[in-house]
Amino acid sequence: MADDQFPGWHGTTIIGVRKGGKVVIAGDGQVSLGQTVIKGTARKVRRLSPGGNDIVAGFAGSTADAFTLLERLEAKLEATPGQLQRAAVELAKDWRTDKYLQKLEAMLIVTDGTELYVVTGAGDVLEPEHDVTAIGSGGNYALAAGRALMDSDLDAEDVARKAMAIASDICVYTNGNLTVESLPK
């Protein structure tokens, strides 16, 4: 089957919210192949503890590729303890220039409880302007909902949960089975 005829992997919505002294990353559990839901309980948000420092990461894209990137991020964090931005930039540089890593298809949202970044294979390390960021198939829906909810009395986790509920109602590649991890600022 030609590449353009193969039904691509879809599914995943990950949101990161920083509000009121807390940073939350939430992700849905759906993995789809074409129009078929392959799994509804995937865990796409992980807690990492390189060198005893807590980091939360959420990923969208190929699971094997994301795990490779998470391992590389952990190594970068161990080499630069307590410096998430530096580790993320080093990962993005490697991802963009290494012939093996260039083929990886995933995106990451990472936080240490203070900093919040989206890391991409294009070499980007992006910090959200409005303390909300999202990636994946339903990312734009979750982002719009999250930004609208930021002015409410909801805390970071409630903003993330409500934004994900809205995204799962709109995006057929997103479900309401959430994994939520948070860190204090």
Instruction: State the pTM of this model.
Output: 0.91
Number of domains in the chain: 1
Answer whether residue 77 is part of any domain: yes
Beta bridge partners of 13: 136
Domain that holds residue 113: 9-160
Answer whether residue 171 is part of any domain: no
Answer whether residue 185 is part of any domain: no
- At 21-36, the pLDDT tens digits run 999 999 999 988 888 8
Answer whether residue 67 is part of any domain: yes
Answer whether residue 170 is part of any domain: no
Under 8 Å CB-to-CB from 14, ≥6 apart: which residues?
A: 25, 26, 27, 28, 44, 45, 58, 59, 60, 109, 134, 135, 136, 139, 142
- The mean pLDDT value for 60-64 works out to 83
Share of the chain above pLDDT 90, in %: 65
Q: What residues are labeled active site?
A: 12
Answer whether residue 133 is part of any domain: yes
Answer whether residue 58 is part of any domain: yes
- At 121-151, the pLDDT tens digits run 888 999 999 999 999 999 999 999 999 999 9
116: CATH: 3.60.20.10
